[in-house]
Copies of this chain bind each other. A is one copy, B any other.
Amino acid sequence: MKERQEAIKRYIERKGDVTLSELAGEFSDWSEMTIRRDLEFLEQRRFLIRTKRGARIMPTSYEVSVGMYGEREKRNCDLKQEIAAKAAALVETDISMYLDAGSTAMMLARELPDRNLIIITSAPNIGIEIVLKKTNPTVILLGGTLQRKTISITGLNVLDQLKTLNIDTAFVCASGYTDATGFSVGGQHECVLKRAVIASARRVIMMMDSTKLNSILPFTFARLQDIDTFITDSKAPESIKAAFRAAGVHVI
């Protein structure tokens, strides 16, 4: 990256939001066109977003909720939306619920009714989302090491923390499922956490879009008999849904 581009980036980071003419004044050694091209360059690298007549800093959690899981989240957006809407309908007032990390859980967070609820989560971005957009729920964030890839908390004492919390309903996501391997995820830490949550929750609701069915990830954290309800989208094959029902799982 060029020095000028760094300087523009820093300037915008300080100001938050600038117009092109403001930048052209500040960096008058260069033409408006060059600055425009720099903004395009910086936008591609996700440092900022260009607005009508200028640019704005790229806010942090934007990357988390859209940029990071990124294309994947966007692609299956409709499926996840469908799942989140179904899940939100199952949320009761005045209960304590666990909300998993991940993009499907984020969509559920957005769909959540603005009512008295205690929401326990290992995903700080989801916690912030709820606290900013809703006025009634109480959010409890687990403490520990913040993982870069998943933006979720893990750590030795999450298990101790869970012991002091009573979870009525747990909304859990999985990255893979097969009959042979059960529900699996890619990270060992997540796996341990999900297991503990499932063990302590009165009711476990698994959310998974159809693209993840019939795929295997390294760590299995639950079997069919561990969950009460399974929420998926309308594209999930009937055969799997039937098998789940046969195992006594409520499929929505």
Identify the A interface with B (CB < 8 A): 13-17, 49-52, 56-57, 59-66, 68, 74, 77-78, 81, 110, 124-125, 127-129, 131-133, 135, 138-148, 151, 153, 155, 157-158, 161, 164
Minimum CB distance partner of A148 in chain B: B131
* Supplied contacts A14-B77, A60-B129, A125-B128, 7 more A-B pairs, CB within 8 Å: A14-B78, A16-B66, A16-B77, A49-B51, A59-B65, A140-B155, A143-B161
Instruction: Report chain B residues within 8 Å CB of A77.
Output: 14-16
**Nearest chain B CB to A106 CB, angstrom units:** 9
Give Cα distance in the complex from A63 to B61, angstroms: 10
B50 touches A60 (CB 8 A): no
Closest 6 CB pairs of A and B: A143-B143, A59-B62, A61-B61, A124-B124, A139-B146, A59-B59
B66 touches A59 (CB 8 A): yes
B60 touches A49 (CB 8 A): no
**Nearest chain B CB to A92 CB, angstrom units:** 21
A128 touches B61 (CB 8 A): yes
6 residue pairs A–B, Cβ–Cβ below 8 Å: A16-B66, A50-B52, A60-B132, A64-B132, A141-B141, A141-B144
Instruction: Report chain B residues within 8 Å CB of A129.
Output: 60
Give Cα distance in the complex from A74 to B57, angstroms: 13
Give Cα distance in the complex from A94 to B50, angstroms: 37
B128 touches A139 (CB 8 A): no
**Nearest chain B CB to A205 CB, angstrom units:** 22
**Nearest chain B CB to A62 CB, angstrom units:** 3
Instruction: Report chain B residues within 8 Å CB of A141.
Output: 124, 141, 143-146, 153
